[in-house]
């Protein structure tokens, strides 16, 4: 049994983001595969900050920043969930230290923006003698990232408990539309707010729209004010949801019929096709996603509602929702069939993770 340090830069309980979730997920998948893993953070006092996540007794360990390399080198391997963080557009990225590592390590690349921000640092990491590979969450990224280094596909980077299995039971009675995660500009919630003003739309989502999440930073607060000014007909709950409370979170996803995962895309830009991590959790519980066709992998298009944010209208959106509602049991059964044979099923993700472990320890 190996000991693995799972390292992120952000452990704030309000940061329901991909780097934190993938760090937690790496820990859980390590346990499933017979290894011991800790989420490892560093602070000036060597203690967790007051607003840090609470993933469970003993699962998150904090150490003095001055002991960084001594701590990491005491493990058998290290997983960096990201190469760094970007606190703001006005500040340079804060990179992960790795130079004095004496144990094997791998690094996650969360999306195309992560690669663009950390490219120089990622190349330096790949040249380290203990580097074992990049972990990417889009198959296209394997070929699109122009670094000659091992790359491993691992998606969804989500907790095993949310991945679909043959034995997973979905709720039969579902209603409403959910958005969960962080309230951020590029998720295009103003469009959703506009849609809620139409009775025809609200009828197809059973007159219930739920927004669950926090708005990060100054920009997020500005977005919140804009959304409030639009007077949408939705129920909005501030504050994060606890991804470690599996029964509560699965119930939140499973009770809803649709999940909003529409994101802004730029013409001519190539994306590592994926869904938002919480959207993958939601569809694992039977929640049908509303997605941007440029983001969502093509194999998900059969069961998704495709929404083009540049060329949408109310009538077309309502028509697509009604089509699902009129054939709901049939369409959701087909989604389940596709997911169980997809790269996002429990067994498929477990197989992806085994390849990562093999790279670390062989």
Task: Say if residue 196 is preceded by a cis peptide, omega within 30 of 0.
Answer: no
Q: Give the chain's mean pLDDT.
A: 93
Res 109: pLDDT: 95
Q: What is the pLDDT of residue 88?
A: 66
Residues 252, 178 contacting (CB under 8 angstroms):
yes
Paired tokens of 309: 């944010």
Residue 239, pLDDT score: 77
What would the two tokens of residue 360 be? 């670390």
DSSP state of 206: T
Distance CA 307, CA 52 (A): 36
Residue 178 near residue 210 (C-beta atoms within 8 A): yes
Domains of the chain (ranges plus CATH)?
3-158+345-361 (3.40.50), 177-340 (3.40.50.2000)
The confidence score (pLDDT) of residue 219 equals: 72
Closest Cα to residue 63, out of 79, 54, 74, 55? 74
Asked if the model's pLDDT at residue 87 lies above 90, the reply is no
Of 325 and 239, the one with more pLDDT:
325
pLDDT in tens, 269-303: 888 888 988 999 999 999 999 999 998 999 999 99
- Contacts with 282 (C-beta within 8 Å, 6 or more apart), sequence order: 178, 180, 253, 256, 259, 289
Taking the C-alpha atoms of residue 15 and residue 33, their distance in angstroms, rounded to an integer, is 27
- Mean of the pLDDT values across residues 92-109? 94
- One-character DSSP codes across 20-31: HHHHHHHHHHHH
More confident residue, 234 or 110: 234
Crossing angle, helix 277-284 and helix 328-340, to 10 degrees?
110
Does the pLDDT of residue 218 top 70, yes or no?
no
Residue 154 has pLDDT above 90, yes or no: yes
What does the pLDDT look like over 4-40, one tens digit per residue? 999 998 788 777 678 888 999 999 999 999 999 999 9
Query: pLDDT-based confidence at 182, cuts 50/70/90?
Result: confident
């Amino acid at each position: 049994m190996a000991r693995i340090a799972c390292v992120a830069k952000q452990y704030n309980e309000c940061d329901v983001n991909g780097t934190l979730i993938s760090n937690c997920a790496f820990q859980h998948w390590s346990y499933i595969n017979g290894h011991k893993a800790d989420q490892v953070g560093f602070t000036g006092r060597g203690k967790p900050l007051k607003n840090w996540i609470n993933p469970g007794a003993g699962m998150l360990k904090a150490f003095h920043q001055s002991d960084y390399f001594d701590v990491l080198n005491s493990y058998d391997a290290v997983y960096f969930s990201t190469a760094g963080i970007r606190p703001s557009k006005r500040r340079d990225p804060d990179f992960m230290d790795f130079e004095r590592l004496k144990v094997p390590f791998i690094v996650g690349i969360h999306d195309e923006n992560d690669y663009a921000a950390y490219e120089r640092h990622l190349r330096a990491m790949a040249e380290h003698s203990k580097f074992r590979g990049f972990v990417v969450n889009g198959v296209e990224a394997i070929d699109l990232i122009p670094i000659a280094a091992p790359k491993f596909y691992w998606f969804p980077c989500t907790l095993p408990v949310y991945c679909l299995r043959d034995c997973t039971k979905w709720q039969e009675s579902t209603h409403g539309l959910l958005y969960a995660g962080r309230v951020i500009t590029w998720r295009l919630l103003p469009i959703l707010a506009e849609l809620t003003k139409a009775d025809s739309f609200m009828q197809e989502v059973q007159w219930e729209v739920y927004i669950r999440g926090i708005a990060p930073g100054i920009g997020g607060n500005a977005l919140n004010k804009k959304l409030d000014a639009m007077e949408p007909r939705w129920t909005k709950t501030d504050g994060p949801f606890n991804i470690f409370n599996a029964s509560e979170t699965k119930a939140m996803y499973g009770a809803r019929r649709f999940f909003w995962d529409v994101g802004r895309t730029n013409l001519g830009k190539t994306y590592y096709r994926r869904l938002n991590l919480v959207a993958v959790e939601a569809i694992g519980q039977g929640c049908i996603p509303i997605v941007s066709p440029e983001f969502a992998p093509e194999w998900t298009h059969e069961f998704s509602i495709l929404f083009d944010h540049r060329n949408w209208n109310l009538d077309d959106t309502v028509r697509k929702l009604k089509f699902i509602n009129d054939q709901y049991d049939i369409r959701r059964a087909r989604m389940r069939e596709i997911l169980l044979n997809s790269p996002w099923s429990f067994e498929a993700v477990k197989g992806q993770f085994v390849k990562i472990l093999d790279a670390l320890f062989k």
